Amino acid sequence: MRNVFSVLLSFFLFIVLVSTTVLSEQGDANNDGEITTDDVIIILEMAAGKQIQDLSLDMNMDGMITSIDAYQVLEQINTTDPLVEELTTVVKRYDLGEYFSDERMNWKVKKTDGESLHIAVVVENGDIVEFYEGKIKDPSINAYTSEKTIRNLLDAKNSQSIRDAWSNGDIRIEGVGMGNAIRIGFMGFVNWVTAPFS
C-alpha cells in the first residue's frame, strides 16, 4: 500500500512540474492564463532584482532571468493574428457614430479553426481610436461574433451591414455593469423596433 501511495505521489508531482514548466515556457509570469505586458514587466523586475527570480521563466535557458527573457515573451505578445492585421487596414472606414459614441469594447471572435480571438476597441466621438489584439481593461461592452461574420462585413463594406448583423444575432453585444447592460438592452430594443422601417 505504501508503494502504491509513493507511486501516485510521484506521478502527481511529475504532472504538477510538467504543467508548471509548460506555463512558464509560455512566459505566463503571473499565472493568469494569458501572456500580456504584465508578464513582461514581472520578468523585467526579476531581471532588475526587484522580485525573486523564478528560473522556470528562463526563456532562453541560460540559467538566469534577464531582459532577453522578457523580450522573448514580448515577441509572443506581438504576434498579431492575420485577421486583426486585415481588420486594422479597413476598420477606420466604418462610421460607428450612429451606433456608438464613446465605448471601450472587448470583442471575442470565434475563428473558423475553433480558436478564440480577442480584440480591444476604443471608440471616442464615434471614431475608432484604438484597435488591437488583446483585451482592454474596464470595458463598457463585451461583444461576440465569428470570423465568418467579420468576413461578410468586410465584403459588404458599409456600416448598415453592422446593423444587419446585430439584428440577425450574428453580433451579440452585452453591456458591462448594470448601467451599460440597461443602455445596450435599450439600444437592441430600438434597433429591433425600427429595423422594418429603415
Q: Please answer whether residues 60 and 51 qualify as being in contact, where contact means their C-beta atoms are separated by less than 8 angstroms.
A: no
**Do 44 and 67 contact (CB within 8 A), yes or no?**
yes
Q: What are phi and psi of 109, to 5 degrees?
A: -110, 125
What residues contact residue 95 under an 8 Å CB cut-off, 6+ apart? 126, 159
In this prediction, residue 108 carries a pLDDT of 92
> What is the Cα–Cα distance from 80 to 86, expressed in whole angstroms?
10
- Same domain (yes/no): 71, 106: no
Sign of the CA dihedral running 83, 85, 88, 89 = negative
Indicate the residue among 54, 77, 100 that finishes a domain: 77
Which residue is it, cell 443602455? 183
- Domain termination site, one of 17, 44, 77: 77
Give the pLDDT confidence score for residue 18 in this predicted structure.
38
Q: What are phi and psi of 103, to 5 degrees?
A: -145, 155
- CA gap 140, 105 in Å, rounded: 6
Q: What is the pLDDT of residue 175?
A: 84
Which residues of the chain register pLDDT less than 70?
1-26, 78-79, 92-99, 157-159, 186-198
Number of domains in the chain: 2
Per-residue pLDDT at 93: 65
Cα(165)–Cα(117) distance, integer angstroms: 19
- Are residues 191 and 104 part of one domain? yes
Place of cell 492564463: 33
Domain containing 54 equals: 2-77
